Chain A
Amino acid sequence: MQGRTMEFEKVKDGDKLTYKIKGRLDTATAPELAADLNLDGVKELVFDMEEVDYVFSAGLRVFLQAQKSINANGGTMKLINVQTSVKEVFNIVGFTGIMDIE
């Protein structure tokens, strides 16, 4: 587990923005994603979590911030292909109630 532990690809299609994330969102890697997130004019934000093994609190903060921003834009945010272990973390902190998680 040396070197970079998180990577992502993003696709912007009009006001729809899709992130495909790989690896783990931890204290070290989450700020990268946070820095990249520019939600100006985005109405539909999608995170494809298929290849995310771990999401730590730093990652959760990014998602919470994103949700707040998109709510302010009047848009929607969606997390898709979330692994069971990751979903459990979302569940523990009560994010399943405020986010659209599949």
Chain B
Amino acid sequence: MISWWKKWFSRQSLTFRLSISILTSVFICGVGLLFFTAQYYLPKVRQRMDDFAGFKLQNEIKNISAVVNETQDATLTMKNTLIELQTTEVTLFRHLLQSALKTLNYDESDTSHAWIYVFPDGNVKTGTLYSAIIDKGEFIFTKHEVDDFYRIYPWFKKVPKEEKFFWSEPYRDEEIAGKPWVASNLLPFKFVGSDEFNGLVAISVDLQKLKGEINNNTDELYGQSLLISNDGLYVSHPNPDIELKKTIYDLAKMYNLPELNVAGFKLKDGISGSIEMKNSSVFGKPVIFFYAPIPDLNWGMCMVFSMDDFFLPFKEFHIKAVGAMLLFLLVLFVFISWICHRSTKPLLDLSKIALQYGDGDFSGKLPESKSDDEIGIMTEAFHKMRDNLLAHIEMVKTAAIDAQKNQSELEIARNIQQSALPVNFPCHGVFEVCAYMKPARHVGGDFYDFFFVGEDKFAVLVADVSGKGIPAALFMMTAKALIKNTAKSGMEVAKVFTLVNNELCEGNITGMFVTAFLAVLDLKNGVLEYVNAGHNPPFIYDESGYHMMEVKRNMVLGGLDNVQYASEKLQMRKGQRIFLYTDGVSEAQNKSGEFYGEERLRKSLEQDMQSTRHTISCVQKDVSDFADGAEQSDDITMLELLYCGLEEDLLVVKAEISETAKVLQTVSADMEAKGVSPEGQSKIMVACEEIFSNVAQYAYKDGGMVRIRSTVAYGKYLLRFIDNGLAYNPLEKPDPDISSKAEDRDIGGLGIFIVKQMMNEVNYERIDEQNILTVGVKL
């Protein structure tokens, strides 16, 4: 949960996080302050309240006490006068009572009652009662005998037989009209010389008068005064159902407030104090209940304050404080948001532009750094980054253009070198040749070459220039041109190398050299003349398979001038092959550094001998598989020459249409003998007819001969037409448009087009005043 919250929070915007952090802090501070204030002020307020309540209570008590004292004074005066006079004269009693009531000086509206009860020594039950009442300003005096005083005043049983003041519990005075509630102040007396009490004097105080002395206004804030009798009866209470009907103990039970019980007992014992109560008969809510005894009267004076209302200002303060704080937080939030927005906006702008820069778009303008703060520093850094980036990009661009230039130059060099190597392997009946070269880098130092020397000799060459790359390639081009040009003159091969060597040595300041193997095949007799200039010996194939040729090694070309090279000769038999290669083949390495080696090469050569092309591609694939992706460290070059045997004329006929049937018959038989497939035969028949009829019709003006030769080479059946007629290359004739309508079609040019379409091989050569057209199909 916490980690989730942390995750969520960390994902919010800076503004939000900062606002929340600050607002939370401020809120906690505010609440803490309020709490502190409450902790500090609450006891003080409470103290003030106690003081206030005490003051008010004492004030009320003082007022009540005034009435009590006045009454007691009057009672005491009556008693003293009575004892002093030692008489039971009625008129005296009347006078005493009247003067006591007068002393009290009650208003006319008040109903007051004073009385004297005289009984025989110690016998309280029967006696004479002198009673005086002022009712509506009129003084009424009565005297009557009492046979059971306790019946009239039941509470009298409680009065202690002591010569001191006693205040009765409230009761209804039956002798006064309206039977008002009163409390009587009694004082027993003894006549002088008497051991027993002889009577008592009493003044009843109308409770209305007592109540009038206290503040009866119900005010929650300034408290409610309550007067409680000694027995706990509520003498004054705002609720008429309680006043003079219920005691403090009744209410303690009714409201389930045991502490009120305790307060009642304490009051009775004359102890003051205060209690907090969760409920109140006055306010119906939590209150503080102060109480104190009234001296002499032995009643209690209480003061009830509603706690809520007393603390109301404090509460209001808190509510207002919280409100103010929330308002403050809101303002703070707006302010923080504004500040954050102002601070983060440049960051957002920067990041937007940084994104554009990342995409390579430098059109976005960076804001100017206006200040020296962090944002300013960052903006400055962005400016620098942008400048550096632009400079760097410019540099990389230039470098890339240079690299591209180099690359394209290298590419051109490679093309030149590659194009210098012949790839059109001549289609000849006597031999077959195929070669392959793959430079290690873009341009290499290896090369092969083949060319006719005169009409009846064919030269093949493989060479390896020391070093690699551009220098080797340059040297190679020179060497290749030199060898070819020299060899083409038809001189003996050893002499060719001797001459080339001297040429290469001349001005060879770089000390480069080239190893080479040159072989020339005489097509007339199959004699192979060859010379080796420091090159690795080739493989030769005969009936027993491929094996390494034992050849004489001569000095490399370009190493030392005036060296005499020696050649050797070999009479090739039909089907014999010679495989020339450079050490890039045998020394090809795989990833673990192993060499390909001559033995692997020998085996690979024998894999597929269908034609020289098959053999070469088989070796090429085998070497590549062996290397298995390892980098090629040296140029790979190979060449194979196959001697097919001497080519003989199949037929020599007059160039006339009438000879067509004969030609076709002879060719058909030859194809049968050489194992050409029926499909191939059929195609050759069409081609043969077309070509022969062409030659018969157009080659000669005055008639001539056509020689027809056939051979099998490169896995094909080849048919050659040789005439001494006008030079004419039929292959140059444009092809007919085979998609046009019948009306637009030219009726000519169809024959050679059919030939071109049907044959796997079509070749024209003009050699020595002869037209030689060769066609061929796959066996």
**Cross-chain contact A60 with B750 (CB below 8 angstroms):** yes
Verify if A37 is at the interface (C-beta below 8 Å from B).
no
Verify if A28 is at the interface (C-beta below 8 Å from B).
yes
Verify if B396 is at the interface (C-beta below 8 Å from A).
no
**Cross-chain contact B657 with A27 (CB below 8 angstroms):** yes
**Cross-chain contact A89 with B686 (CB below 8 angstroms):** yes
Verify if B363 is at the interface (C-beta below 8 Å from A).
no
Verify if B685 is at the interface (C-beta below 8 Å from A).
yes
Q: With the chains together, A64 CA to B745 CA distance in Å?
A: 8
Verify if A12 is at the interface (C-beta below 8 Å from B).
no
Q: How many residues of B contact A (CB 8 A)?
A: 30
User: Interface segment, B132-140, B331-339, B448-456, B753-761?
Assistant: B753-761
Verify if B367 is at the interface (C-beta below 8 Å from A).
no
Q: With the chains together, A71 CA to B745 CA distance in Å?
A: 13
CB distance from B52 to the nearest CB of A (A): 126
A54's partner among B685, B741, B747 (CB-CB below 8 A) is B685
Q: With the chains together, A65 CA to B745 CA distance in Å?
A: 9
A68 and B742 in contact (CB under 8 A), knowing A1-B664, A54-B685, A56-B690?
yes
A71 and B743 in contact (CB under 8 A), knowing A1-B664, A56-B751, A61-B750?
yes
Q: Which residues of A contact B665 (CB under 8 A)?
A: 1
Q: Which residues of A contact B696 (CB under 8 A)?
A: 27
**Cross-chain contact B685 with A98 (CB below 8 angstroms):** no
Verify if A74 is at the interface (C-beta below 8 Å from B).
no
Q: With the chains together, A61 CA to B693 CA distance in Å?
A: 14
Q: With the chains together, A2 CA to B745 CA distance in Å?
A: 34
- Main SS at interface, chain B: helix
CB distance from B334 to the nearest CB of A (A): 85
Q: Which residues of A contact B295 (CB under 8 A)?
A: none
**Cross-chain contact B747 with A94 (CB below 8 angstroms):** no
Verify if A58 is at the interface (C-beta below 8 Å from B).
yes
Verify if B254 is at the interface (C-beta below 8 Å from A).
no
Q: Which residues of A contact B737 (CB under 8 A)?
A: 94
CB distance from A2 to the nearest CB of B (A): 7
B725-762 residues with Cβ-Cβ distance < 8 A to A are 736-739, 741-743, 745, 747-748, 750-751, 753-754, 757-758
**Cross-chain contact B657 with A57 (CB below 8 angstroms):** no
What sequence of 0s and 1s flags, for each residue 637-665 of chain B, a beta carbon within 8 Å of any chain A beta carbon? Answer: 00000000000000000000110110011
CB distance from A101 to the nearest CB of B (A): 13
Which of B736, B741, B742 lies at the interface centre, i.e. has the most chain A CB atoms within 10 A of its CB? B742
Verify if B388 is at the interface (C-beta below 8 Å from A).
no
Verify if A7 is at the interface (C-beta below 8 Å from B).
no
Q: Which residues of B contact A38 (CB under 8 A)?
A: none
Q: Which residues of B contact A2 (CB under 8 A)?
A: 661
Verify if B697 is at the interface (C-beta below 8 Å from A).
yes
Verify if B682 is at the interface (C-beta below 8 Å from A).
yes
**Cross-chain contact A97 with B754 (CB below 8 angstroms):** no
Other 16 A-B pairs with CB < 8 A, given A64-B745, A89-B686: A27-B657, A27-B696, A27-B697, A54-B685, A56-B693, A57-B690, A57-B750, A60-B750, A61-B748, A68-B742, A68-B743, A71-B742, A93-B753, A93-B754, A94-B736, A99-B742
Can you give 5 contacting A-B residue pairs, CB < 8 Å? A64-B747, A85-B682, A92-B754, A94-B737, A94-B739
